[in-house]
Amino acid sequence: MNLKKLQLQKENIIINERVNNIYDVLDEGSYIKELIVEGKVLYDEISDNHHVDICYSAEIESKCDRCLANIKFYVKNSVKFLLDIKNNIDEEISIFIENNVLNLEDIIIEDIILNKPFQNICKEDCKGICPKCYKDLNKEECICEKEEKENKFSVLKDMFKEV
């Protein structure tokens, strides 16, 4: 089954798919290593509509925004919508459908982008990299900040001298 080209028919479709290594879809440096999608597309004969009801789990590999360490996290969610092809389709959905072929993969990717954390960080209190000496401050301390404080202090001392 190709989630990018899901042929809609007048019958139910059961989805149980695992897609690996979807590159270049999230922000720079992040990509979906594995996407697991389960659910169904139910066809309703009376209204001639399709009900899409799926849940997914995406394993994402990225880099910490502060210290650039490799990180991995999961985004999980469920997606439900109605496809009323004959009448008006939801405008947001209509760009993902053409000639009864649904691009479900891109709908899920959009949902991942909306639901993933705003910041990619390795841990809540990541200290990041020193902008002066480029040391990883989680692993070692540097003296840059200390030096800056001392410099300010010596300026103050000089001012007092002049008074």
Cβ at position 155, least distance to Zn ion in Å: 20
- For residues 48 to 67, the per-residue mask of contacts with Zn ion, x marking binding by CB under 5 A and - elsewhere, is ----------------x-xx
Cβ neighbours for 66, distance < 8 A, ≥ 6 positions apart: 121, 122, 126, 127, 128, 129
Cβ at position 26, least distance to Zn ion in Å: 18
CB of 106 within 8 A of CB of 96?
Answer: yes
Nearest to 86 by CA among 40, 137, 43, 25: 43
129 binds Zn ion (CB under 5 A): no
Say how far apart CA 139 and CA 93 lie, in whole Å.
47
Interface residue with Zn ion among 6, 41, 112, 122 (CB under 5 A) is: 122
Tell me the one-letter amino acid at 22: I
Q: Which residue has the tokens 């993933």?
A: 116
CA 142 to chain centre: 33
Say how far apart CA 49 and CA 86 lie, in whole Å.
8
- For residues 79 to 118, the per-residue mask of contacts with Zn ion, x marking binding by CB under 5 A and - elsewhere, is ----------------------------------------
Interface residue with Zn ion among 25, 89, 93, 130 (CB under 5 A) is: 130
Interface residue with Zn ion among 60, 112, 126, 129 (CB under 5 A) is: 126
Cβ at position 5, least distance to Zn ion in Å: 39
Q: Would you tell me which residues interact with Zn ion (CB under 5 A)?
A: 64, 66-67, 122, 126, 130, 132-133, 142, 144
